[in-house]
């Protein structure tokens, strides 16, 4: 059964019987706001980009997967491709994480979403982040992003390694920037809170 997370809440990536989940999909979705005058529709597609940034225990950035580098060096984290519109129902971008292959020096993986085209979160709706057990396709947890406003990015969630397993924490920290690189200074404080 899926857990609906609020900002700051965490969930262990394990099954009800205690099995550690070692292969997950972090999926993101959004819809462009297209309401115009008199109930009509207008507006441009919104190119939101998901990224995964890997950090060691000291908080140093060690690798990433994003639309310009779809795989980390050892293929433990794989971005499935860039969706430039957000059109259609369901997941728009996904990042697959083979937790059992994440290098031992990686302590946390932070997931961000940025508006590459510069439109703000006021121009999207129904944004979400969810984690799915890839072996069963069951949704483990979901974080609905309710922030609407002039910001162009959000630090959505992180996976943290502990006690031989992993957990997901909903972050929901707003920011600005076209790519994850613009968010690196804002990510640092989220690494300390685990």
Kindly report, residue by residue over 45-101, the tens digit of the pLDDT: 677 889 999 999 999 999 999 999 999 999 999 999 765 555 556 677 899 999 999
Residue 166 belongs to some domain of the structure: yes
pLDDT in tens, 16-39: 787 889 999 999 887 777 555 544
Domain residues for the domain of 156 are: 3-32+46-192
Residue 170 belongs to some domain of the structure: yes
Residue 9 belongs to some domain of the structure: yes
Residue 165's CATH number: 2.60.60.30
Q: What is the pTM of this model?
A: 0.88
As a whole number, the mean pLDDT across the chain is 85
Residue 37 belongs to some domain of the structure: no
Residue 26 has a pLDDT of 93
Residue 183 belongs to some domain of the structure: yes
Residue 82 has a pLDDT of 62
Number of domain units in the chain: 1
158 pLDDT more than 90 = yes
Residue 39 belongs to some domain of the structure: no
Closest by alpha carbon to 129, among 22, 17, 24?
24
Closest by alpha carbon to 120, among 33, 10, 1, 16?
33
Residue 40 belongs to some domain of the structure: no
d(CA 125, CA 148): 8
d(CA 36, CA 143): 28
Residue 162 has a pLDDT of 86
Residue 127 has a pLDDT of 82
Residue 91 belongs to some domain of the structure: yes
């Amino acid at each position: 059964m899926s857990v609906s997370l609020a900002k700051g809440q965490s969930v262990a990536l394990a099954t009800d019987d205690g099995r550690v989940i070692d292969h997950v999909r972090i999926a993101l979705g959004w819809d462009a706001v297209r309401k115009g005058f008199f109930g009509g529709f207008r507006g441009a597609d919104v190119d939101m980009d998901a990224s995964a940034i890997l950090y060691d225990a000291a908080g140093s950035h060690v690798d990433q997967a994003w639309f310009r580098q779809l795989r980390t060096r050892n293929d433990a984290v794989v971005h499935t491709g860039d969706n430039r519109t957000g059109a259609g129902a369901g997941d728009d971008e996904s990042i697959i994480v083979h937790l059992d292959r994440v290098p031992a020096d990686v302590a946390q993986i932070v997931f961000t979403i940025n508006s590459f085209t510069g439109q703000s979160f006021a121009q999207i709706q129904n944004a979400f982040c969810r984690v799915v057990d890839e072996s069963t396709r069951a949704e483990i947890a979901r974080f609905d992003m309710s922030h609407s406003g002039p910001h162009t990015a959000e630090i959505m969630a992180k996976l943290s390694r502990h006690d031989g397993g992993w957990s997901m924490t909903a972050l929901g920290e707003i920011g600005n920037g076209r790519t994850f690189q613009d968010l690196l200074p804002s990510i640092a404080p989220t690494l300390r809170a685990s």
